[in-house]
Amino acid sequence: MSLLIGDVAPDFEADTTEGRIRFHEWAGKDWVVFFSHPADFTPVCTTELGYTAQLKDEFAKRGAKALVVSVDSIEDHKRWIEDIEETQNATVAFPMIADTGRKVATLYNMIHPNADAKLTVRAVYVIDPNKRIRASIVYPPSTGRNFDEVLRLIDSLQLTDTHKVATPVNWRDGEDVIIVPSLTDPAEIKRLFPKGYKAAKPYLRYTPQPGK
């Protein structure tokens, strides 16, 4: 199954380290960072889940929470959490799905046979409160992800959902943004962006980030 940006994230029921969940119900009105890891007791995954745990407050500031899946068992997850907490100086406070039957991984296209038919790739889905997939990122099993980039992505999505702007290359929260090309009425531009803008080209107009 190929999931595209704008699709409704498929619902499912699954056993996790925090009990059985129905995904849409568990997600509620939050943003969700739903990601897979290839296997428990592996070094790269240990660092990734530890760093995700350290970002709990950053996720909360954005109304977001993490959900993790792999094809390992609940028992393995719980034993591995002890290792993560010991080595990464973090408390794992998000559910880890036990997907031994590969049902969820298959539903979300997280198993790529040409990479490794036995493992999930490092997939990330950013899902909004309407249960829509807003972004997806896929890494090979050998490469750790950049979760600071995931936070930056959520910042951009939340900003552009509420203002008629786009975020330029390497943008960070608080930096200048771009007025969308479809906005052409001078009076509306002045109303929406009272701090003004600088036009590098008619279609490339920089303005201070709204609300900052």
63 found inside a domain: yes
Is 45 assigned a catalytic role? yes
Beta strands in 39-163 (DSSP E): 64-70, 96-98, 122-127, 133-139
Residue 6 lies in a domain: no
Domain encompassing residue 26: 13-144
Of the three residues 90, 112, 144, the one that is the final residue of a domain is 144
Residues 72 and 100 in one domain: yes
Residue at 158 is within a domain: no
The predicted structure's pLDDT at residue 95 = 98
Q: 45, 69, 71, 177: which one is catalytic?
A: 45
Which of 90, 109, 144 finishes a domain? 144
Number of domains observed in the structure of the chain: 2
Residue recorded with tokens 């997280």? 110
Residue 196 belongs to some domain of the structure? yes
* CATH code for position 191: 3.30.1020.10
| pLDDT score, position 178 | 98
Residues in Cβ contact with 175 at an 8 Å cutoff, skipping those fewer than 6 apart: 209
Q: Tell me the C-alpha distance between 154 and 59, whole Å.
A: 9
Residue 118: its pLDDT value, please?
Answer: 63
Nearest to 150 by CA among 116, 122, 179, 119: 122
Give the pLDDT confidence score for residue 177 in this predicted structure: 98
Q: What is the pLDDT of residue 117?
A: 60
The tokens describing 51, both together, are 């760093």
- Model pLDDT, residue 114: 65
Residue 34: CATH number of its domain: 3.40.30.10
Let me know whether 48 and 109 are in one domain.
Answer: yes
Model pLDDT, residue 111: 84
Q: What residues in the chain have per-residue pLDDT under 50? A: none
What pTM was computed for the model?
Answer: 0.94
Among residues 144, 174, 199, the one where a domain terminates is: 144
pLDDT score of 113: 72
For residue 153, the model assigns a pLDDT of 98
